[in-house]
Amino acid sequence: MNIRTDLALERVEVLSGQIPPGVTRQQHRRGDVTVTRIIVEDACGAKALQKPPGSYVTLDYRPFQTITNRLEEEVEAAAEEIRSFLPEKGLVLCVGLGNADITPDTIGPLTAASILATRHIMGEVAKSAGLEGLRPVAALSPGVLGQTGIETAEIIQGVCRELKPCAVIAVDALASRSVERLGCTVQISDTGITPGSGVQNARKALNKEALGVPVVAIGVPTVVDMATIAYDLWEGKEEGKISERGQTMMVTPREIDLIAEQASKLLAFSINRALQPQLTFEELSSLVS
């Protein structure tokens, strides 16, 4: 059975933790956050993990629905990783992928709504507001094909042609193979993303080849498909059967509304800190509240 997951770390786990040729794995702790970096170095590694060559960073957090007094520390952990993937200067376009009307798919739109958009703040306006030196940032939530009749990739390609950003940050909900990772994991990669792939509705890819600039993909797993859960319950044996309808069902936590709200808050603050490191956590809080 082909285990479905958007997480590179889980692709390694499917291989019983054995690191295949062409893949390296590094892990460290940053406070309470476990940071794992999977690097797919070549075509051999890409075939083994079914992932394009590039870097995949997984951050394991406490469950997002729990209250914490360490949000600033958690934000800094993600911000540092996001910053490492971006050019030092230039306009960055932040895109919130997903359907705002479907709770497990709201991570992207909710994150985009809290991005500090600064492209329009310049000259005397920036000076009078005490916001000189901000990096130009634009934010966009393009919706989905069923809402707009336009492919997400087509919208973003058009915006990129007009704005000419130095990089794109794309935020989306992901699929995991394990219910244990739902709502407590963030993956950051430099390989781009395919909108809708997590719910078996893959659209045109958003990557450097398609947009002409680096694409940093950030996601939080919010769903597991029914077939993958059944496979895990059968301990990897394929004797069991699942109905055709069941194979297309997705499972999400009952606290998904709170998970989406808290996860998007963490991602938005992390992106804002990565793009505007001169602003303190408190300053960012006041500017996006």
pLDDT in tens, 145-168: 888 899 999 999 999 999 999 999
pLDDT band of residue 204 (cuts 50, 70, 90) is confident
pLDDT at site 251: 86
pLDDT at site 8: 94
pLDDT in tens, 33-91: 999 999 999 999 999 999 999 999 999 999 998 878 889 999 999 999 999 999 999 99
Question: In a 10 Å sphere around its CB, with 0-12 CB exposed, 13-18 middle and 19+ buried, how is residue 100 labelled?
Answer: middle
Of the candidates 43, 19, 49, 281, the one whose C-alpha atom is nearest the C-alpha of residue 187 is 49
What average pLDDT does the structure give for the chain?
Answer: 88
Per-position b or e across 243-267, b if 16+ CB within 10 A of its CB? eeeeeeebebbebbebbbbbbbbbb
pLDDT band of residue 96 (cuts 50, 70, 90) is very high
Element (H, E) at 157: helix 152-163
pLDDT at site 194: 83
pLDDT at site 205: 85
pLDDT in tens, 52-64: 999 999 999 999 9
Reply yes or no on whether the pLDDT at 93 is more than 90.
yes
List of residues 6+ apart from 20 with CB closer than 8 A = 44, 45, 48, 49
| Alpha-carbon gap, residue 257 to 65, rounded angstroms | 9
pLDDT at site 243: 61
Q: Which amino acid is at 273?
A: R
Pull the structure tokens for residue 160.
Answer: 């990129």
What residue has token string 């798919």? 105
∠ CA 286-288-289 to the nearest 5 degrees?
65
Task: Look up the CATH architecture of domain 86-288.
Answer: 3-Layer(aba) Sandwich (3.40)
